[in-house]
Amino acid sequence: MRRAVILLAVLLVTARLAPAQNGVLPVRTGSLKFAVIGDNGTGGKPEYDVGQQMAAARARFPFDMVLMLGDNMYGPQAPEDFVTKFERPYEALLKGGVLFYATLGNHDNQNNRFYKGFNMGGERYFTFVKKNVRFFVLDSNQLDPGQRAWLDEALQRSREDWRICYFHHPIYSDGGRHGSDVSLRVALEPLLVKHGVHVVFSGHDHVYERIKPQKGIAYFISGSGGELRKGDVHPSPMTAAYFDQDQSFMLIEVAGDDLFFEAVSRTGAMVDSGVIHRQTDAAGTR
């Protein structure tokens, strides 16, 4: 069965925070480059600060898409709110042609899936391909039998090298406010394992956390793109790295059989980095 294995992980969450430009991203020609944000849609200064850092990072790391992990909008969600909570904070990226692909969180209006800027095509859950990666976008607000059946079939048909899922509620998390959604794990994890999903991104807990691989799958929580629950991570044996002192976002590069990642704070400090290697099993499949 196809799996991903962490080869390198650097935790930099205390006094000496390395500048982001000293990270592990190789910035290779032809690789897939993207950013990840979650729980961002506050319209407050921290969200704008993160947006500015993302634009600055793009100068050294030319990503052309962003995964949004839900709670893309808090509070009122009238047309003017899409301006102040999305279009302005990421204005430089949007003007540069960067595409945002959203999933819905518990604070999002379900009708937001029709908003053109979120590229959801009016669907609660969907799949799309970029280079050698297939993404599976789920609605974890209601993982009904129809959605599970769709995911099972979509994963079965996937022939891309990498399979990445993202949805709002984490099935593994050390966040104190929410933590692991065990009922969602029971419903979803068997499909992820069965079909060899490599990486899962979620938000909901307003922190950054990297979980040690669970049943061969790498899990990330990136839920502090706008909101922050400072000091909310309670490390456990499954904790690989975390940062809960400021807002943050992620940068990802998929180059062949390697997925490189960095977590960057809103001040531009790199707070975690590493690489996941996609291994070939004994049968020669990937």
60 Cα distance to chain centroid: 20
What confidence category does residue 168 fall into, taking pLDDT thresholds of 50, 70 and 90?
Answer: very high
Position 264 pLDDT exceeds 80: yes
Q: 34, 64 in Cβ contact below 8 A?
A: yes
Residue found by looking up tokens 């990445």 in the block: 164
Position 284 pLDDT exceeds 60: no
Position 280 pLDDT exceeds 70: no
Position 11 pLDDT exceeds 60: no
CA atoms within 13 A on the CB side of 29: 0
Residue 281's pLDDT is: 52
Please state, in angstroms and rounded to a whole number, the distance separating the CA atoms of residues 275 and 271.
14
Q: 79, 73 in Cβ contact below 8 A?
A: no
Position 6 pLDDT exceeds 70: no
pLDDT one-digit tens code per residue, 172-214: 999 999 999 999 999 999 999 999 999 999 999 999 999 999 9
Please state, in angstroms and rounded to a whole number, the distance separating the CA atoms of residues 17 and 36.
20
Please state, in angstroms and rounded to a whole number, the distance separating the CA atoms of residues 2 and 167.
21
- Other CB atoms closer than 10 Å to residue 281's CB: what's the count? 11
pLDDT one-digit tens code per residue, 93-147: 999 999 999 999 999 999 999 999 999 999 999 999 999 999 999 999 999 999 9
Please state, in angstroms and rounded to a whole number, the distance separating the CA atoms of residues 175 and 231.
9
Position 9 pLDDT exceeds 60: no
Please state, in angstroms and rounded to a whole number, the distance separating the CA atoms of residues 13 and 174.
16
Q: 247, 46 in Cβ contact below 8 A?
A: yes
Element (H, E) at 69: none
What confidence category does residue 24 fall into, taking pLDDT thresholds of 50, 70 and 90?
Answer: confident
pLDDT one-digit tens code per residue, 219-261: 999 999 999 999 999 999 999 999 999 999 999 999 999 999 9
Choose between 10 and 47: higher pLDDT. 47
SS3 189: helix
Position 5 pLDDT exceeds 90: no
pLDDT one-digit tens code per residue, 55-107: 999 999 999 999 999 999 999 999 999 999 999 999 999 999 999 999 999 99
Q: 242, 236 in Cβ contact below 8 A?
A: no
183 to 125, 155, 186, 239: CA distances (angstroms): 19, 21, 5, 20
Position 42 pLDDT exceeds 80: yes
Residue 279's pLDDT is: 80
Q: Cα-flanking dihedrals φ and ψ of residue 258, to 5°?
A: -120, 140
Choose between 184 and 6: higher pLDDT. 184
